[in-house]
Structure 1
Amino acid sequence: MSHPIITGFAGSLSAPSRTRAVVEDAVQLTAERYGGTGSVFDLLDLGPSLGRARRFGDLAQEAQDLLQSLVEADAIVLATPVHKGSYGGLFKHVFDLLDPTALYGKPILLAASGGGDRHALVIEHQLRPLFGFFEAQTLATGVYVSDRDFTDGRLADPAARARLERAVDQFGPYLPGFLASHSVSGAPVLAAI
């Protein structure tokens, strides 16, 4: 039996990034729980061709390969920083370049990060409708985190971590051939990008 492939995308231009830290944690936890392999990329990894692209084919080959990894993944983790109540324009532009059927049926864990709690509904009011358009299967539990949930750049708040674990559990019905007993705890499961 093959192992599930989990791909994470952080819609952040910052490095280091709290948004990317959440995606890395979610991908790592999912890969360990279902015996899979994971990789994570962010907006910076897509390079300068993203801003100039009017269609998928306009992207540099490396950017095309990264976006293709989303399309081919068994499970996806997506997160965005929140700016002025919504996701950023480049984050949305990534998905404008994908075919409307590219994410059909894909299980997606949605997450967002912001400076405070007033942006917490961005998952329900912005992200879930976007991926509803693609007919993706967004997990019921979204994960919103704020600055206070982090210590030294890592997600540390127990309630936020519990919510993340609950969301990862919801990948179970979409990865039925991959049992939690496949855990590879202690082994690196994130591919370097």
Structure 2
Amino acid sequence: MQDLDGAAARIVEQIVSADVLVVGSPTFKGSYTGLFKHFFDLLDPASLRGKPVLVTATGGGDKHALIVEHQLRPLFGFFEALTLPTAIFASERDFAGGKLVGDAVRLRTEQAIEQAVNTLDARRPVRSGVAA
């Protein structure tokens, strides 16, 4: 990371210090893009250990849906991140006018967000309610 300029180093630090990551990539030849992979190559392998990660991807059709299971989950497994159970894949038919309109993908998105919030809540320290 010492080879990065100040702006890039700050972006990496923001990602490493985030409470949860929502990461995604368009599907390119059945996998994530080269730029996506290049960015994660900049991170120390231990930097995401235990961090909750919600994986997402887009693709031209249903045949690309397995990118989240066969490409993204193994990548974040390498980092020993806590990949949330629900992944989100959306194809062209799930969008209209730049907005997410597919009912199934909207439900999965709500479910994934709920899992992320619950994971964060479970990690917050419990304070004693005892008054002095």
Both proteins in one fold, TM over 0.5: yes
**Partner residue in 2 for 1:146:** 91
Letter in 1 for 2:89: Y
Listed as ranges, the matches of 1:110-189 within 5 Å are: 110-171=55-116, 172-176=118-122, 177=124
Quickly say closer, same or farther: Cα 1:70–1:175, change in 2 above 3 A.
farther
Which of 17, 27, 35 lines up with 1:90 in the alignment?
35
1:73 aligns with 2:18: yes
* 1:169 Cα deviation from its structure 2 partner: 1.1
Which runs of 4 or more aligned residues in structure 1 lie more than 4 Å from their structure 2 counterparts after TM superposition? none
Task: Look up the equivalent residue of 1:154 and give its one-letter code.
Answer: K
Which segments of 5 or more consecutive residues in structure 1 lack a partner in the other structure?
Answer: 1-55, 179-193
Q: Which has the higher contact order (CA 8 A, sep 6+)?
A: 1
Larger Cα-atom Rg: 2
By how many angstroms is 1:117 displaced? 0.8
CA distance in 1, matches of 2:112, 2:99: 18
Tell me the TM-score normalised to structure 2 length. Answer: 0.88
Give RMSD over aligned pairs: 1.3
Unaligned runs of 5+ in 2: 126-132
Match of 1:105 in 2: 50
In 2, Cα distance between the equivalents of 1:90 and 1:175? 32
> SS of 1:57's equivalent?
coil
The alpha carbon displacement at 1:108 in A equals: 0.4
Identity %: 52
